[in-house]
Chain A
Amino acid sequence: MVSKMSSKMVGSNNLANARRMVQQLRVEASIERIKVSKASADLMRYCGENAKYDPLLMGIPASENPFKDKKPCTIL
């Protein structure tokens, strides 16, 4: 099993790293956010609108699914 070869960034310059972290956090802190209730409603609406186009969710008949085997044909 391959071990996840960790490559910790060599902290050669702690001051530069600290500055980078502050800069990064400023970027992240400044974004606009919405409420979880609104985000949830949007996720649910997307599911609802697209459910009918979702074959794994709705289940589609064997005749329409290339992976489901059709009933064998009988040669008369």
Chain B
Amino acid sequence: RDACAEPHQLSKGETIHTLKTESETLKAKLEEERAKLHDVELHQVAEKIEALGQFVMKTRRTLKGHGNKVLCMDWCRDKRRIVSSSQDGKVIVWDAYTTNKEHAVTMPCTWVMACAYAPSGCAVACGGLDNKCSVYPLSLDKNENLAAKKKSVAMHTNYLSSCSFTNSDMQILTSSGDGTCALWDVESGQLLQSFHGHSADVLSLNLAPSETGNTFVSGGCDKKANVWDMRSGQNVQSFETHESDINCVKYYPSGDAFATGSDDATCRLYDLRADREVAIYSKESIIFGASSVDFSLSGRLLFAGYNDYTINVWDVLKGTRVAILFGHENRVSTVRVSPDGTAFCSGSWDSTLRIWA
């Protein structure tokens, strides 16, 4: 049957009822197929490897300068610069080694929920309640007004929740409260592909590591994590085991799995080739939502920031918590490991960013 056929025409014998029945049958078949391959749990297979020792991670730098909640941050590929964005509309570029501010831009909107560094290190992208994603080339001239060179790239019909450059400065992927993700050409602002399938706000997206091809994962308020083919726009896999909004999605470094952080107070690991959830990172004592997650370089550690102001560090394979980090004085909104894995940065509603190592 052709899904693009005139919607008001019925194929022979086809009714809403038959389609719904077929839906139910397919869903049951999916579950059955997945269950057949569920021969063991990841943490059971991981019993044979050594437990991790004690971790000592401390705040090594505190970046102060935002006047309000930090909502997002991203590392530059040079492993030392960071861009961060906040509720009061400010976007700041920092040198994380020295804590110096190198650039600052004031956006015309508040709640700048998304920011990203361009691969070249020569530009940053950001957006939020303005429903757009804009690119600012970074000038070497400190006196130059960055806002003058601003380029509007993406236009959504609701807030911008996340943005990411692809492998070059030329394309940006966005996710939005309007329920869609989209791929844009930076130079022309043209929409190259849109991704429909979520039934509520999309809160986060992450591109697969470049070796694994052209896919990305998104997560949202419909409790689903969807994997997409960037060229065709097709939703190729979908996972729905969380009990509340998915705030963050992040690929495992090999590209074979991804982790999520959710308002249901758990983080989970989904394996793409097994096509199922393979681990849950949770404790009875953790009752606040996880806002942001990221892996260490080898994928063995998962850093997760929570709404209870803490960062929990999980052993990805064994499923146990190996450290809990205190320091922020309000919700942790964003957590990202540096490109060379030597440190990770956290941003918080307490208006600071911290570098941990």
Contacts and interface: CB of A to CB of B under 8 A. Distances in A.
A40 B316 contact: no
Interface in A17-51: 18-29, 31, 33-44, 46-51
B152 interface: no
Contacts of B46: 40, 44
A60 B23 CA distance: 53
A31 to B, nearest CB: 6
B342 A60 contact: yes
Given A5-B158, A22-B19, A55 B297 contact: yes
A56 B343 contact: yes
B236 A27 contact: yes
Interface size class of A (residues with CB under 8 A): 35 or more
Interface stretch (B117-125, B182-190, B195-203): B195-203
Contact of B16 (A14, A29, A65): A14
Contacts of A46: 252-254, 256, 298-299
Given A6-B201, A59-B56, 15 more contacts: A15-B7, A15-B8, A24-B197, A26-B26, A27-B234, A33-B37, A33-B273, A36-B271, A38-B273, A39-B42, A40-B45, A47-B317, A55-B342, A67-B96, A69-B60
Interface of B: 1, 3, 5, 7-8, 10, 16, 19-20, 22-23, 26-27, 29-30, 33-34, 37-42, 45-46, 49, 52, 56-57, 60-61, 80, 96-97, 111, 113, 129, 157-159, 177-179, 197, 199-201, 203, 221, 234-238, 245, 252-254, 256-257, 271, 273-276, 278, 296-301, 316-317, 337, 340-344, 355, 357
